[in-house]
Amino acid sequence: MGVMIALIRKELLLLCRDPHGLLLLFVMPAIFVLIMTFALQNQYAMNKEVTLDFLLFSEDDSGLSRAFERELATMAPLQRLPTQSDWEEMQALAQADKVKFLVRVKPGFDQLLVDREPAVEILFSPGTSPVFASVGQARVTELLNRLYLRYRLATMPGVQSSLEAQSSDLVQTRSLYDDSGAMPSSVQQNVPAWLLFAMFFIAIPLSTTLINERQQGTLLRLQSMGIGPVKLLAGKVIPFFIVNLLQVAVLFLIGLYMIPLLGGDQLTLGENPEGLILVAVAVSLAAVSYALLVAQIASTIEQATIVSGVLNIIMAALGGVMVPRFLMPDAMREIGSYSPMSWGLDGFFDILLRNGTVVDVLPEVGALLGFAALMLSLAIWCYRRAAPERG
Amino acid sequence: MIAISQLEFSYTPSASPVLKGIDLDVPDNALFGLLGPNGAGKTTLLSLLAGLIPCPQQCVFINGKDLSTPAGRAASRVSLVPQEYAFYQPLTVRENLAFFAGVQGVPAKKIKQRIQDAVAQTGLKERLDSRAGKLSGGLKRRLNLAIGLLDQPRLLLLDEPTVGIDPHSRHFILETIRHLGATGTTVIYTSHYMEEVEELCDRVAIMDHGRILRSGALVKLLAEAPQTGHRRKSSLESLFLDLTTRDLRD
* Minimum distance, in Å, between the CA of residue B232 and any CA atom of chain A: 34
Q: Please name the residue of chain A whose CA is at the shortest distance from the CA of residue B158.
A: A221
* The pLDDT of residue A258: 94
- The 10s digit of each residue's pLDDT in A226-236 is 888 889 889 99
pLDDT at B180 exceeding the cut of 70? yes
pLDDT at A375 exceeding the cut of 90? yes
| Closest by Cβ to A2, choosing from B74, B100, B108 | B108
Contact A2 B89 (CB under 8 A): no
Choose the weakest-confidence range: A210-219, A335-344, B71-80.
B71-80
Contact A218 B43 (CB under 8 A): no
| Mean pLDDT taken over chain A | 87
| Percentage of chain A modeled with pLDDT above 90 | 54
* The pLDDT of residue A204: 92
* The pLDDT of residue A137: 92
Chain A residues inside the 8 Å CB shell of B114? none
Alpha helices in chain A (DSSP H): 2-16, 19-22, 28-39, 41-44, 63-72, 87-95, 109-114, 130-154, 186-200, 203-216, 218-224, 229-253, 259-261, 273-297, 301-319, 330-336, 340-352, 358-385
Using the Cβ of A218 and the Cβ atoms of chain B, whether some distance falls under 8 Å is answered with yes
pLDDT at B1 exceeding the cut of 90? no
**Cα separation of the two ends of chain B:** 34
Contact B82 A221 (CB under 8 A): yes
Set out the domains of chain A in order of their start, with CATH numbers: 10-43+181-385 (no CATH), 50-170 (3.40.1710.10)
What's the CA gap between A91 and A126, in Å, rounded? 11
* Minimum distance, in Å, between the CA of residue A173 and any CA atom of chain B: 59
* The pLDDT of residue A308: 92
Average pLDDT over residues A79-88: 87
Mutate to test the interface with B, among A7, A8, A9, A10 (most CBs of B within 10 A): A10
pLDDT at A163 exceeding the cut of 70? no
* Minimum distance, in Å, between the CA of residue A197 and any CA atom of chain B: 27
* The pLDDT of residue B144: 96
pLDDT at A46 exceeding the cut of 80? no
Contact B90 A14 (CB under 8 A): yes
Identify whether the C-beta of residue A254 lies closer than 8 Å to the C-beta of residue A339. no
Residue B52 — very low, low, confident or very high, per pLDDT cuts 50/70/90?
confident
Residue ranges of domains in chain B:
84-152
Average pLDDT over residues A371-376: 95
Contact B103 A3 (CB under 8 A): yes
* Minimum distance, in Å, between the CA of residue A16 and any CA atom of chain B: 10
Using the Cβ of A4 and the Cβ atoms of chain B, whether some distance falls under 8 Å is answered with no
- The 10s digit of each residue's pLDDT in A108-150 is 999 999 888 999 999 999 888 888 889 899 999 999 998 898 8
pLDDT at A296 exceeding the cut of 60? yes
pLDDT at B44 exceeding the cut of 50? yes
Contact B52 A216 (CB under 8 A): no
* The pLDDT of residue B55: 83
Average pLDDT over residues B117-134: 95
Using the Cβ of A390 and the Cβ atoms of chain B, whether some distance falls under 8 Å is answered with yes
| A159 burial via Cβ count (<10 Å: 0-12, 13-18, 19+) | exposed
* The pLDDT of residue B67: 83
* The pLDDT of residue A310: 94
Using the Cβ of A7 and the Cβ atoms of chain B, whether some distance falls under 8 Å is answered with yes
Contact B50 A5 (CB under 8 A): no
* Minimum distance, in Å, between the CA of residue B134 and any CA atom of chain A: 14
Contact B151 A216 (CB under 8 A): no
Q: Please name the residue of chain B whose CA is at the shortest distance from the CA of residue A18.
A: B90
Using the Cβ of A18 and the Cβ atoms of chain B, whether some distance falls under 8 Å is answered with yes
| Closest by Cβ to A221, choosing from B40, B86, B98 | B86
* The pLDDT of residue A281: 96
Average pLDDT over residues B178-195: 91
- The 10s digit of each residue's pLDDT in B195-209 is 889 889 999 999 988
Q: In B, what residues contact A, Cβ < 8 A?
A: 11, 18, 38-41, 43-44, 47, 50-53, 73-74, 78-80, 82-91, 95, 98-100, 102-105, 107-108, 147, 151
Residue B239 — very low, low, confident or very high, per pLDDT cuts 50/70/90?
confident
Residue B222 — very low, low, confident or very high, per pLDDT cuts 50/70/90?
confident
Amino acid at the residue A159 = V
Query: Following DSSP, what letter does each residue of A200-217 receive, concatenated?
Result: HTTHHHHHHHHHHHHHHT
Choose the weakest-confidence range: B42-46, B75-79, B231-235.
B231-235
Chain B residues inside the 8 Å CB shell of A5? 102
| Closest by Cβ to B44, choosing from A220, A226, A391 | A391
pLDDT at A167 exceeding the cut of 60? no
The length of chain B in residues reads 250
* The pLDDT of residue A175: 63
Q: Most confidently modeled of A32-36, A265-269, A385-389, B91-95?
A: B91-95
| Closest by Cβ to B44, choosing from A221, A226, A390 | A390
| Closest by Cβ to B102, choosing from A2, A221, A391 | A2
Using the Cβ of A15 and the Cβ atoms of chain B, whether some distance falls under 8 Å is answered with no
pLDDT at A368 exceeding the cut of 70? yes
* The pLDDT of residue B140: 95
Identify whether the C-beta of residue A52 lies closer than 8 Å to the C-beta of residue A140. no
| Closest by Cβ to A13, choosing from B52, B87, B95 | B95
* The pLDDT of residue A391: 37
| B191 burial via Cβ count (<10 Å: 0-12, 13-18, 19+) | buried
